[in-house]
């Protein structure tokens, strides 16, 4: 179990899960019904199964690439800890579990589940032919808030869609930062990324631009929620302020000529941003 949790870097679930829970709690509030423990558990399970399938498939598909990269050679498949066949079976099992859970949630989520899988699994192929791979990853994680909103009985509403676009820009931006450390390796294997296409300096500039858009969308959602639900108060604005501050922070510690703090920007800053933002806004919903 420990090896498989490491294979899918389970701790990184913290990036999208708070936004999924935010969509779920927001829809529950708008529906005016009490919180369903059963539905809550199903949403968590769907999120875990979908992400586990996506990450394991990425590791399976990239096993030959990871074997050549000094940074990734110790990952479970190239290191021989988990076989490629076992990883593929793990992917299939999680895909089936995800579809099964969406069937238990509601018909709409069930019908949309193959599309969600197509996006999150398809991402793993994209760096082989387009530098837009970061945006496909962002699109995959952006399904979290709108998917959880739909699961809780909501429709396609403005606020969760705004949050989804915010997640798309946020994730795409920090994935570009993460890809900086593999620029030379990716170029040597003719793999595609924004750093390979634009170079480190312009890649960081694009990342900053995407995070500016993300910050604007986070503030827009806060403003619209304040207008619609006057009971929303300072916790929501505090959440937005802290989230944006952590976006700014990661761009102060990563420079084109100094990538020593990429992991701090990628894992620590973004993990904290998502967790703090989701927790404070959910508390504001149920204050």
Can you tell me the mean pLDDT for 60-88?
93
Q: Is the pLDDT of residue 3 over 90?
A: no
Dihedral angle sign, alpha carbons of residues 72, 258, 211, 278 = positive
Any idea what DSSP says for residue 255? B
| CATH code for the domain in which residue 118 is found | 1.10.357.140
How far is it, in rounded angstroms, from Cα 143 to Cα 128? 23
Percent of the chain exceeding pLDDT 90 equals: 72
Domain, as residue range, for 200: 2-285
Residues 6+ apart with CB under 8 A from 170: 138, 210, 211, 214, 247, 270
Can you tell me the mean pLDDT for 7-15?
75
Q: How many domains does the chain have?
A: 1
Six-digit token string for 166? 């915010």
Flag the least confident range among 59-73, 165-179, 223-237.
Answer: 223-237
Q: Is the pLDDT of residue 231 over 80?
A: no
Q: Is 152 helix (H, G, I), strand (E, B) or coil?
A: coil
pLDDT at position 87 is 94
Q: Is the pLDDT of residue 35 over 80?
A: no
pLDDT at position 55 is 93
Find the radius of gyration of the CA atoms of the chain.
Answer: 19
Longest C-alpha distance within the chain, in Å?
56
The pLDDT tens digits for 196-207 are 999 999 999 999
Can you tell me the mean pLDDT for 214-238?
86
Q: Is the pLDDT of residue 34 over 70?
A: no
pLDDT at position 149 is 93
Q: Is the pLDDT of residue 112 over 70?
A: yes
pLDDT at position 31 is 76
How far is it, in rounded angstroms, from Cα 285 to Cα 229? 9
Most confident of 21-25, 72-76, 200-204, 229-233: 200-204
Average pLDDT, the chain: 91
pLDDT at position 33 is 66
């Amino acid at each position: 179990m420990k090896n498989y949790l490491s294979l899918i870097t389970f701790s990184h679930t913290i990036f999208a899960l708070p936004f999924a829970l935010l969509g779920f709690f927001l829809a529950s509030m708008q529906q005016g019904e009490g919180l369903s423990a059963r539905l809550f558990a199903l949403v968590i399970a769907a999120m875990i199964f979908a992400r586990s399938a996506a990450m394991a498939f990425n590791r399976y598909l990239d096993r030959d690439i990871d074997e050549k990269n000094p940074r990734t050679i110790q990952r479970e498949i190239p290191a021989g800890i988990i076989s490629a066949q076992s990883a593929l079976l793990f992917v299939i099992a999680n895909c089936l579990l995800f579809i099964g859970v969406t069937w238990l949630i509601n018909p709409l989520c069930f019908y949309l589940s193959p599309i969600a899988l197509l996006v999150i699994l398809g991402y793993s192929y994209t760096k082989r032919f387009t530098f837009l791979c970061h945006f496909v990853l962002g699109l995959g994680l952006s399904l979290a808030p709108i998917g959880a909103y739909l699961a809780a009985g909501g429709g396609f509403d403005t606020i969760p869609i705004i949050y989804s676009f915010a997640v798309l820009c946020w994730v795409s931006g920090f994935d570009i930062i993460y890809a900086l450390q593999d620029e030379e390796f990716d170029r040597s294997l003719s793999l595609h990324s924004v750093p390979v296409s634009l170079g480190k300096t312009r890649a960081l500039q694009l990342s900053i631009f995407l995070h500016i858009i993300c910050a604007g969308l986070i503030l827009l959602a806060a403003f619209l929620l304040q207008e619609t639900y006057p009971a929303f108060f300072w916790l929501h604005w505090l959440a937005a302020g802290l989230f944006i501050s952590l976006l700014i922070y990661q761009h102060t510690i990563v420079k084109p000529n100094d990538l020593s703090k990429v992991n701090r920007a990628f894992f620590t800053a973004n993990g904290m941003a998502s967790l703090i933002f989701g927790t404070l806004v959910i508390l504001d919903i149920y204050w």
